[in-house]
Amino acid sequence: MRYADSHCEVVEVYEPEHTYTFVGPCVVTGEEQRVTVKATDLFRYRQGGYVQACIHYLSKDDREFLISGPSAKGWKMLFGDEESDEPIEDENADPFFDDFYEDNHEY
């Protein structure tokens, strides 16, 4: 949870359950994100457990935000919709690399 540790504020709550809420901006959109984790699960993760096992109740989007910073919306802006097989158009793409790829790779 490198991103959460270095870029988010943390709100600790003890009642009714001990939790930590990480609040910080998406690295892509800048929009505020909030992710709450149970204290016991955060401890297990910090002891070396896998995030997907220790904090399994969070969505993959929330886990990714804690680790590297993009929200679900930011992830889609960066990489497109994972359900789609359509190529992502990039208006900033360098045509040199497109030509290089086509000339040097067999299909």
Give the pLDDT confidence of 21-34 residue by residue, as tens digits.
Answer: 999 999 999 999 99
Model pTM score: 0.72
Averaged pLDDT for residues 8-12: 96
Averaged pLDDT for residues 94-104: 50
Whole-number pLDDT of residue 38: 97
Least confident of 37-41, 74-78, 82-86: 82-86
Burial of 65 from C-beta contacts in 10 A (0-12 / 13-18 / 19+): buried
Residue bearing the bigger pLDDT, 44 or 90:
44
CA 83 to chain centre: 17
* SS3 call for 10: strand
State the average pLDDT for the chain.
83
Whole-number pLDDT of residue 1: 80
| Among candidate residues 39, 33, 28, 42, the one with its CA nearest the CA of residue 9 | 33
Q: Does residue 16 contact residue 27 with C-beta atoms inside 8 Å? A: no
Averaged pLDDT for residues 41-46: 94
Record the tokens describing residue 25, joined without a space.
Answer: 């901006």
| Among candidate residues 10, 61, 7, the one with its CA nearest the CA of residue 37 | 10
Residue bearing the bigger pLDDT, 107 or 21:
21
